[in-house]
Amino acid sequence: MNSIKRGVLEPCNMNKSKRHLKNLLALFLIVSAFTMLYPSSIFSVINPVAAATLANVTVIPTNDIVNTRTTYDIFFNTATTGLIKTIRITFPSGFEVSSSTVLLVRSGIGQGLLSASSSSTLIYTVSNPVIVPAGTTIKLEIGRIINSNTAGIFRVGISTADTVPTVIDGPTLSWSFKIREITGNDVSPNFMIRKTLNDDAAGHAHGWDPDASTTSYAIFDSDIIGASDAEFVSVMIRNGNAVFCSATTADTGLFHVQCNSAPGNSAILDYIITKLPAHVVTSTSISSKSSPFGSLQTGH
């Protein structure tokens, strides 16, 4: 009986083995032909290319005191030529960027919109993206970022993506920067801060462009909360003709400078933003006791 079974089954098993071998051979020929025709396609599926690392990622706060609102300059160089639609900027936990949607300066990238996707992440979306070559330096100057509430050494993650969206470069961590506690030698920017605008590209971007003919300027500064009695701006002009100017807060991120005559070319604008509460004088009487000069005498 066993010999009969072997005699009946063995040819059947051999036929199945031959069919299986033919199928494997056919599959091998198909894969070989596809690989010869489209070599890059097959290998990209097996081993997809990883996103490249951005170069020279630098993040610089204009103020490094804890828990203060400040402006950040962000620089990086693209590593890959690509159609950049979005730039993602991720701060560490403890920073607050949800209201940091004021883009003060940009270069190396097209016009777009800055938005916050979380309390620590900003996304810059290019309105009409174009191909950006590898090695391009991109700068974003962003206002109204609140520093970490604890001192320390921090890094920010940057990545670029196309319209799919697929990551082009990054995420790459920036060089380290320091946020420190306020000391007895510091005046907290929460109360007072002094700034200077030169007659250059950075000054022009903030609204200061003296030309010996203009007497009124709208100055953009993220440290201006808005028109309020608790916020005062004083201004001074240097390196130009003798000019008297005054300032008034107008709106969030904006104050106006009005001069009695036009500042000349290369004039420098110094200004101080004071956020101390006003102390209203309620008495008009002056006595000899309160006068630092003692009693006043009339001349003979």
pTM, two decimal places: 0.53
Same domain, 59 and 148: yes
Q: Is residue 60 part of a domain?
A: yes
Q: Is residue 267 part of a domain?
A: yes
Same domain, 132 and 242: no
Q: Is residue 38 part of a domain?
A: no
Mean pLDDT of the 89-108 span: 90
Same domain, 205 and 265: yes
Same domain, 100 and 216: no
Instruction: Count how many domains the chain has.
Output: 2
What distance, in Å, lies between the first and last C-alpha atoms of the chain? 151
Comparing 8-22, 82-96, 102-116, which segment has the lowest mean pLDDT? 8-22
3-state helix, strand, coil in the chain (%, to 5): 15, 40, 45
What CATH number does the domain containing 121 carry? 2.60.40.2230
Q: Is residue 22 part of a domain?
A: no
pLDDT digits (tens, 9 = 90+) for 265-278: 889 998 888 876 66
Same domain, 95 and 171: yes
Helices (H), 87-241: 201-205
pLDDT digits (tens, 9 = 90+) for 193-249: 888 999 998 899 899 999 889 999 999 887 787 655 557 888 988 876 668 888 888
Same domain, 196 and 144: no
Task: For residue 257, give its domain range.
Answer: 192-274
| Rounded-to-integer distance, Cα 197 and Cα 28, Å | 70
Same domain, 213 and 164: no
